[in-house]
Chain A
């Protein structure tokens, strides 16, 4: 009797050393502009890429989202050109800046069917946990490991402990995968799942679309997990079947994939449960994803915090410019952002548009689709019009305002309602104040000008 994770692990072990380290085979390796350190290491040793066919490059972290006049920042132009040069020299396929399939690596890979169930997927990016939504074992690695994968198509790992996170009940209207994720991270802590491979299970997970599962697995790393995953099912197969790189004999592959489930009675090292009845639309108030609370709550008071937490809360509130006891719905925002590998797939854009349709945003903001194909699909559905009519900027795809390295920044001291994944100090730019929430909640903040409960705004809609 094995868990889903055991099966994924076993299928990739080339060998296990006496000390417990295993050498794992890598089925898919994504690289991006940030992989320049790794390519430099490879070049320094005169090594070639072992399996160029299994390696896929995507330009996302540094690309500008306003692409009218080419890249104006020389530093950014150099980063994109370096990726192009490395990919070309090593025979690695690249979805570059001008490719119609360009997008954020964790959106593009699944969208293209390049990530498939049963695969081991790595990338020099911590949100590689996203790919687990397809029943894959996806995890982020550092530059030394990226160089190792490029050179050998393998990676050394010690088997993580297994954890199952069960979501019981059903999601209330207005509650989605982002809320489920921030809820569990707040409950268990930003290192709550450290050292664990997490399988998301239970009726509320089964009920999620593939896109929702991608969001849930994406945020695994914010709870400290090594990876997150959902067992494949018919919902996934229907989503995957027509992807450009889906297997020719899809049914034969799907037969294999159907076995990728935790056996009845298989043991986990740890099990946790979340009651969906307690999951409301969530926003973060602090500088760690664990600083999350239902939108109906108030800003915590360090004076009433458990010992050991008070100082951290006080520092977070100081940075965020918030008062203890302040109602979260009274926190005014300066701008909004919808984008990132967490929440910029088509369903995310639809959810935000459902709130924004026929309304005006009270603050400026920006919408950056997760991929160029998502952008095209959204435009086909008229969603771009909804965003523009609401007064928001509709820009090209990339990591954009998630990470503050491509020119899209939140100015110092400004407060941004954001569909991204990290509210770390300075993540969206030096001094930026980030509140994480679902794309629908970002839309609610846009139309009200403050953090707001999306539920009343959805009445009679969607």
Chain B
């Protein structure tokens, strides 16, 4: 994944609040391998003639401007794959589901937190997103956005966590040894209670 600091692209608006991950990609599509491309599943069951992403002026959009609590719900990273594979690089919303936002950053998609009320009526329109300066300009608007500094650095550098963590291998091994001493039962996953069954749950009402 390569990093980026600046993005110019067509922005489309979807004012609805609580666009959850089940909307972003319905569960029935998630068994497909990623190589098949997830873009066609994006917001699949909301699509139709009145849908903002299907409007003639929305073709080629790469910035999505949305309502509060975008990406709430499940941890399915496929929701982010659907956006990224459909060409989106930035989502701007007043708030995001936490897991969605983390997943987004892991795929180079910027979850930019900003009040979108003034922006929405002006869309579709081209926007300029400066990740470094944390600003959005265009459509007659200029506004700042919030992003966790850790995520910002990660997006700008295009860091891959597995590679980064590899450099801490010694500390992890040391920690694991200490943990094993403190709480050895974590590693002891043998079947102790021979019935292999659950202990009946107490409290049966009479």
Contact = CB atoms under 8 A, between A and B. Distances in A.
A19 B107 CA distance: 20
Shortest Cβ-Cβ A-B pairs, 6 listed: A247-B185, A242-B199, A142-B103, A142-B77, A144-B106, A143-B77
Contacts of A287: 18
Nearest to B98: A226
B143 interface: no
B78 interface: yes
Given A25-B176, A142-B103, A244-B197, A403 B27 contact: yes
A125 B193 contact: no
A269 interface: no
Given A243-B193, A424-B22, A152 B172 contact: yes
B76 A119 contact: no
B55 interface: no
A49 to B, nearest CB: 13
B203 A126 contact: no
Contacts of A311: 15
Interface in B162-206: 162, 165-166, 168, 171-172, 175-176, 179, 182-183, 185-193, 195-205
A37 B34 contact: yes
Contact of A426 (B26, B30, B75): B26
A93 B190 CA distance: 11
A350 interface: yes
A358 to B, nearest CB: 16
Q: How large is the interface on A (under 10, 10 to 19, 20 to 34, 35 or more residues)?
A: 35 or more
A191 B198 contact: no
Contact of A126 (B18, B74, B199): B74
A164 B176 CA distance: 30
A209 interface: yes
A27 interface: yes
Contacts, number: 224
B205 A350 contact: yes
B189 to A, nearest CB: 6
B192 A248 contact: yes
Given A238-B202, A244-B191, A244-B198, A141 B76 contact: no
A152 to B, nearest CB: 5
B14 to A, nearest CB: 12
Interface of A: 14-15, 17, 19-21, 23, 25, 27-28, 34, 36-37, 40, 45, 47, 51, 53-54, 56, 62, 75-76, 78-79, 93, 100-101, 111-112, 114, 116, 118-119, 124-126, 128, 140-145, 147-148, 151-154, 156, 158, 189-191, 194-195, 209-211, 221, 224, 226, 238-239, 241-249, 253, 256, 287-288, 290, 311-312, 315, 345-347, 350, 354, 371, 373-374, 376-377, 381, 403-405, 422, 424-427, 430, 462
B201 A239 contact: yes
B198 A111 contact: yes
A140 B199 CA distance: 27
Given A21-B150, A346-B200, A424-B73, 17 more contacts: A19-B150, A20-B149, A23-B168, A75-B31, A144-B161, A158-B150, A190-B69, A191-B69, A221-B73, A226-B98, A249-B185, A373-B197, A374-B198, A425-B46, A426-B23, A426-B45, A427-B27
A253 B187 CA distance: 13
28 contacts: A14-B172, A23-B172, A27-B179, A54-B186, A79-B31, A101-B196, A116-B185, A126-B73, A126-B74, A142-B99, A142-B103, A144-B103, A147-B162, A191-B69, A191-B95, A194-B95, A194-B97, A194-B98, A210-B201, A247-B185, A247-B188, A350-B204, A404-B27, A422-B20, A422-B22, A424-B20, A425-B45, A426-B23
A228 B171 CA distance: 29
Nearest to B166: A152
Nearest to A241: B199
A144 B18 contact: no
Contacts of A54: 186-187, 189
A224 B77 CA distance: 17
Interface residues of B, number: 70
A14 B23 CA distance: 37
Given A111-B198, A191-B72, A242-B199, A25 B172 contact: yes
A100 B34 CA distance: 32
A191 B98 CA distance: 9
Contacts of B196: 100-101, 244
Contacts of A191: 68-69, 72, 95, 97
What is the predominant secondary structure among interface residues of chain B facing chain A?
loop
Contacts of A350: 204-205
Given A142-B106, A354-B205, A242 B168 contact: no
B198 A377 contact: yes
A252 to B, nearest CB: 9
A242 B194 CA distance: 10
- Give the one of A144, A147, A152, A425 with max B CB within 10 A: A144
B69 A142 contact: no
Contacts of B197: 100, 244, 373, 376
Given A53-B187, A153-B176, A405-B30, A19 B201 contact: no
B189 A93 contact: yes
B72 A243 contact: no
A190 B202 CA distance: 33
A312 B20 CA distance: 14
